[in-house]
Amino acid sequence: MKISREDQETLERLEEELWREETRFDMERMNELIAQDFFEFGRSGRIYPREHTLAVARQKIDAVFPLPEFQARLLDENTAQVTYNSAVTYDGVVEYARRSSIWSRNHSAWVLRFHQGTPFQP
């Protein structure tokens, strides 16, 4: 199943919203984007439920855009997987991770169901 250009661009924009300070810490927007059953396998190896993800304190996010090596594919007509690499600077140190997210289309809007980050060195 081939993903449309529109869905590809939408998913990339939505994924980037999670890395932009002005949208990441907008709780109204995050409540729209993050599904009730969301969870994450973090870069650290920890498991983070939705509540923890939403409770992260506001902080500066210094991420590289566009998201490096962004790819999206449909798993079925209403479910997509996106993958990309992240490069985020924390206290002067760049942390790299391979990222994967599962998004579901619900009433024509995409919601994030799952995310995983795995560290790597370029």
5-119 CATH fold = Nuclear Transport Factor 2; Chain: A, (3.10.450)
Please check the confidence at residue 106 and state whether its pLDDT lies above 90: no
Instruction: Give the number of C-alpha atoms closer than 13 A to the C-alpha of residue 15, restricted to the C-beta side.
Output: 32
Tens digit of pLDDT for each residue in 60-97? 999 999 999 999 999 999 999 999 999 999 889 999 99
How do beta strands 93-106 and 34-41 pair?
Answer: unpaired
Distance CA 114, CA 58 (A): 21
Phi, psi at 77, each rounded to 5°: -65, -20
Counting Cα atoms < 13 Å in the Cβ hemisphere of 71 gives: 10
Mean pLDDT rounded to a whole number for the chain: 96
Q: Which of 8, 1, 20, 39 is nearest to 115 (CA)?
A: 39
